[in-house]
Structure 1
Amino acid sequence: MDYTLNYLRESLANYSENEMCQQIFQKLDEKIYSNEVIFVKALDEEEMTYLNDVLENELHYAKSVEHDQRVKELTEVYELLF
């Protein structure tokens, strides 16, 4: 798994009580994705929509605390969604 997906995994942990989040997290656990492009292609439309919302929140937070590396990594996934 690459660094981008590690940041994604960490972000998803903040929403672990949500069933859709658990579903996405399970995909990350079940298969080793070599990069974020392959992972995003494995998502269905509902998962992509949910992840889009999560990433908007996470990017807003990362920008507010000036965590540039996190912003960069999460943006890579966010831009692939739609």
Structure 2
Amino acid sequence: MNKPLAYLREILSNYTDRSDTAEYIFKKIEQGHFPTEESFVRSLSDEENNFLNSILPEEIKHANNEQDETRAKQLNEVYELLF
């Protein structure tokens, strides 16, 4: 699994207990064989895309506040592809 998707899977684990969409995306990452973030993003439904659009800005901000530039960069790579 590539790094951006590994970071995404990690943050999604914080949402799976309260969101079916998060759980579905989490499982998609775990079970999927996505060579790139782009191939993963292309597999998303509109609902999944909207969910990630709603959580990633805050998660990227949190990573920046924690001075975790690597995590922020990896999550931002996925976020930029959602548009």
The equivalent residue for 1:2 is: 2
TM-score, normalised to structure 2, is: 0.93
Bigger helix fraction: 1
Runs of 4+ in 1 over 4 A off after TM superposition: none
TM-score, normalised to structure 1, is: 0.94
Query: How large is the Cα RMSD of the aligned pairs?
Result: 0.8
Choose 30-39 or 68-77, whichever is displaced more: 30-39
Question: Aligned to 1:14, what secondary structure does the other structure show?
Answer: coil
| Larger RCO (alpha carbons 8 Å, 6+ apart) | 1
Q: AA paired with 1:45?
A: D
Unmatched runs of 5 consecutive residues or more in structure 1: none
Q: How many residues end up aligned between the 2 structures?
A: 82
The equivalent residue for 2:61 is: 60
Q: CA deviation at 1:30?
A: 2.1
The equivalent residue for 1:72 is: 73
